[in-house]
A and B are shown apart, each in its own frame.
Chain A
Amino acid sequence: MKWIAALCFVGLAVLWCVPVASLSGCASRQISTSVVAPALGSSATPIAGWAMVELDAAEAADGVSRSEDRALVYEWADAVRSADAAVIRSEAVPLWPYVRSWAVAGVTRLEDSGRAGPLVADSFRENIAVFAEGLGRVAGPVYNFDVGGSE
């Protein structure tokens, strides 16, 4: 009888603790999100700039217009600069894999052309990786695996 009572007590404790733990987890994520979103804004312009370096170079190489891709980069940068977590989640996060790959390629082009030294290029890549981490915090667990990290 004592064992049954003990099991019931443990069961009730678990039932009570799980929702409380979940709620406190949600609360801390909300705080992080609202704080991190504005901090991402200042990285939008340079990352978009590195992506443009790649698009310009690709266009010059094959003569194929990249105007739609450029529009996508502008759209992404505007969404990030909004500093609004909901806008970032809905508009910037889905575009990030494209922008990220162009930005990384753009940094490599800057390094290869000598416009950025190797350690400078490393700082640029670090900026992309740290931004991705911040974006992951804003985007939440659903997107954490899609936003990318450092190369």
Chain B
Amino acid sequence: MNVADELRDLISEAAESLGASAAESLDDAVDYAARRASHLAAAVGEPGYMAALEAEARNVAIMAAVGASDAASAADERFVRIVQGGLRVIAGVLSKA
């Protein structure tokens, strides 16, 4: 399974588990996340790295346009945290490859 597939599963499952409306543009979000995971892999160890992970996860949330009608901000925040965790793991693996 490649990085894009891993991210697709992660993003889809995260969106579904939150009961959020996953995205008309999920494919765009997955492509974007895969691209930015490589970018993050190169940024490992730079000052502010954790904040960059968070910024990229927020970008994925916007690209996926994930939102829930109830408790929107809580669901949104949880989605960002899940994607952030996934990007962190994948970027870490890529940086050692």
Contact = CB atoms under 8 A, between A and B. Distances in A.
Q: Do A and B come from one complex?
A: yes
Interface of A: 31-32, 34-43, 46, 81, 83, 110, 114-124, 126-127, 130-131, 133-134
Contacts of B65: 32, 35-36, 39, 134
A123 B36 contact: yes
A46 B61 CA distance: 15
B68 A38 contact: yes
Given A32-B24, A81-B73, A117-B47, A123 B67 contact: no
B46 A43 contact: no
B44 to A, nearest CB: 9
Contacts of B40: 119, 123
Nearest to B54: A46
Contact of A36 (B49, B54, B67, B77): B67
B92 to A, nearest CB: 15
Contacts of B56: 123, 126-127
Label chain B's interface by main secondary structure. Answer: helix
Label chain A's interface by main secondary structure. Answer: helix
B63 A124 contact: no
The 8 closest A-B pairs by CB, nearest first: A117-B46, A38-B67, A119-B43, A38-B72, A123-B52, A116-B48, A127-B55, A120-B48
B80 to A, nearest CB: 5
B54 A130 contact: no
A46 B52 CA distance: 11
8 contacts: A32-B24, A83-B76, A116-B47, A117-B49, A120-B51, A124-B52, A131-B58, A134-B62
B49 A126 contact: no
B47 A35 contact: no
A32 B62 CA distance: 11
Contact of A118 (B23, B46, B66): B46
A119 B64 contact: no
Nearest to A81: B73
Given A35-B23, A46-B51, A117-B47, 12 more contacts: A38-B67, A39-B62, A39-B67, A41-B76, A116-B52, A119-B42, A119-B52, A120-B48, A123-B40, A124-B52, A126-B59, A130-B59
Contacts of B48: 110, 115-117, 120-121
Contacts of A36: 62, 65, 67
